[in-house]
Amino acid sequence: MKFEDYHFAKEIKQSLNEMNFKRPTDIQFKAIPSILKGEDVLAIAQTGTGKTAAFAIPILHKLHYAIQKNKEENRIKCLVMVPTRELALQITEVFTALAVHTELVILCTFGGVSQDPQIEELSFGIDVLISTPGRMFDLRSQGHIDISKVEILVLDEADHMLALGFLQDIHDVVRHLPRKHQTLFFSATIDEKIKEVAYSLVHNAIRIQISPKDPVSKNVDHAVAFIEMDDKRFFLERIIRERADEKILVFVRTKVRAERVQKAMERVGIETITLHGDKNQEERFEALENFKQGIKKVLIATDLSARGIDVAGVKLVINYDLPDVAENYVHRVGRTGRGVEKGQALSFCSPEEKDVLTEIESFLDKEIKVMQVSKSEYSMTKILTNEAKNDWQKLINDAAIEDAKWKSSHPKKNKKK
């Protein structure tokens, strides 16, 4: 079935065509009909399968027709709650692109930036609010946000919201919504805790689960290579040089590691950009924008940003460090192979990280295929690195200088007999 066969508003169909959306993904095909009927939905699907469009398309279609009949100013009709700023921006981009030919007004709010521009936009009236919990509650307590007329509540990346301690915030939001509203609960993973929360929020929900036996998208070819911790930078350099024209996303464990890896790449003449919690909002925007536009081909990020990076054309994800939390592996590798695209992911595993690898494989319920690196290939990778070359050149230069000094101080030794 193609999108052109759906009975969407012509304005929505026009946007879908401009975005080159031809056929729905599995999650879109299964979720859209239920959302259009007004049913509550509990959807579990891997990262990168088109979840955002799965709820954005039918929501905008419904709101577009509703607004034609009754345009009520200053009324928020749909609230989308997300755990991070990056994800809020990503979802807003999708909503905005799909709604460009309608009169619907989309607004994104989050902390870390001045609230004044957000308050000004709220004063003109909006239809869809996409927000992180903190900023949404701040604006609501100040009287700038009224969610008492919300018709549709979307909880996206719900598992991550619970992990970050937003459970109470979610229940607080629900208490201020109309008793009769539609709830859409989207998550990449599900466990007993998430089930408990989900079923306390949805009513007679349609449960949709895509590829539950393999949380990694079938579009992602992922493997692991066993590399010593101190040698990882050599292999990263080699891969980046071999795939110089591609966008590569590199994940590390900590903010400090991100900066260290960036400096290691700088030493060998490779330009990268970092994204982590110590960056202010303006720096985060700039980093993502440079990566999206291909100004910088390599982005080094921490898990904080793993779910908020939705950049077209990321061909390769490298887990420079294995994630401390096993399920974060799914979210990391899910940054490539998005929608109908194909992608690759490679994890560097040092001897110290083998226990972490075991946990990840247990979570996936399968072993990750191993990319074999021969001893000769391993050695050549270290020898041919620019850093190694620079070190050898320095040794040669130092030796030449010492030799010249010795000759100048021992002139008789250099005379022919």
Q: Do residues 235 and 298 share a domain? A: yes
Pairing of strands 220-226, 343-349: parallel
230 pLDDT above the threshold of 50: yes
What confidence score (pLDDT) does residue 330 get? 86
Higher pLDDT among residues 176 and 73, named by residue: 176
> What would the 3-class secondary structure string for the chain be?
CCHHHCCCCHHHHHHHHHCCCCCCCHHHHHHHHHHHCCCCEEEECCCCCCHHHHHHHHHHHHHHHHHHHCCCCCCCCEEEECCCHHHHHHHHHHHHHHCCCCCCCEEEECCCCCCHHHHHHHHCCCCEEEECHHHHHHHHHCCCCCCCCCCEEEECCHHHHHHCCCHHHHHHHHHCCCCCCEEEEEECCCCHHHHHHHHHHCCCCEEEECCCCCCCCCCEEEEEEECCHHHHHHHHHHHHHHCCCCEEEEECCCHHHHHHHHHHHHHCCCCCEEECCCCCHHHHHHHHHHHHCCCCCEEEECHHHCCCCCCCCEEEEEECCCCCCCCHHHHHHCCCCCCCCCEEEEEEECHHHHHHHHHHHHHHCCCCEECCCCHHHHHHHHHCCHHHHHHHHHHHHHHHHHHHHHHHHCHHHHCCC
Number of other CB atoms surrounding residue 24 within 10 Å: 21
388 pLDDT above the threshold of 80: no
306 pLDDT above the threshold of 80: no
Q: Do residues 230 and 99 share a domain? A: no
Q: Do residues 23 and 83 share a domain? A: yes
303 pLDDT above the threshold of 90: no
Higher pLDDT among residues 335 and 317, named by residue: 317
Q: Do residues 154 and 226 share a domain? A: no
In a domain, 398, yes or no: no
387 pLDDT above the threshold of 90: no
Q: Which residues contact residue 223 at a Cβ distance below 8 angstroms, ignoring those fewer than 6 apart? A: 345, 346, 347, 368, 369, 370, 371
In a domain, 373, yes or no: yes
398 pLDDT above the threshold of 60: no
367 pLDDT above the threshold of 90: yes
Whole-number Å distance between alpha carbons of 155 and 169 = 11
In a domain, 384, yes or no: no
Total domains present in the chain: 2
Phi, psi at 299, each rounded to 5°: -115, 125
In a domain, 397, yes or no: no
* Domain range enclosing 357: 220-378
**Token digits for 364?**
């996936």
Confidence of residue 414 (pLDDT cuts 50, 70, 90): very low
Per the prediction, the chain carries an average pLDDT of 86
254 pLDDT above the threshold of 80: yes
386 pLDDT above the threshold of 90: no
In a domain, 416, yes or no: no
What confidence score (pLDDT) does residue 272 get? 96
Average pLDDT over residues 309-336: 88
Average pLDDT over residues 86-101: 93
Amino acid at the residue 329: Y
What confidence score (pLDDT) does residue 314 get? 92
CATH classification at residue 191: 3.40.50.300
How do residues 257-269 score in pLDDT, each as one tens digit? Answer: 999 999 999 999 9
In a domain, 152, yes or no: yes
329 pLDDT above the threshold of 80: yes
